[in-house]
Amino acid sequence: MQKRRPSHKGLRSCLGCGARDERQTMVRIAATGDRIEVDPTQRLSGRGGYLHRRRDCLERFLNSRVKEFRSLKRRINREERLHIVSSIRERLDSGTSVA
């Protein structure tokens, strides 16, 4: 526990490992209406979830048994998870912003 964080407003829980971290180090996933998509600008409206830019977090997210993600207030089915994870992987593979 660190008490000297400026505020916990910037902290988000990872949908993969569940750890809380600063959102700048994470990838945002936005749920807008029926769509779920990666939000690299962290600016899409709608509810957002966060994932570390780490392969094991992506893996955990993919295999998670969580039925409904609280931060998103909705379920994410397997197909949607695959879609999200593969687009984040593409970004990791392209070598940009691997935190």
Enumerate binding residues for Zn ion (CB under 5 A).
14, 16-17, 52, 57
Closest approach of Cβ 98 to Zn ion, in Å? 14
Closest approach of Cβ 16 to Zn ion, in Å? 4
The rounded distance, in Å, linking the Cα atoms of 1 and 49 is 22
- DSSP element (H, E) containing 29: strand 26-32
Between strands 47-52 and 26-32, the pairing is: antiparallel
Q: Which residue is nearest to Zn ion (CB)?
A: 14
DSSP for residue 46? S
Closest approach of Cβ 34 to Zn ion, in Å? 26
* Under 8 Å between Cβ of 49 and 31: yes
Of 15 and 30, the one with the shorter C-beta distance to Zn ion is: 15
Residues 5, 7, 26, 12, CA torsion sign: positive
Of 34 and 65, the one with the shorter C-beta distance to Zn ion is: 65
Of 53 and 83, the one with the shorter C-beta distance to Zn ion is: 53
Closest approach of Cβ 38 to Zn ion, in Å? 15
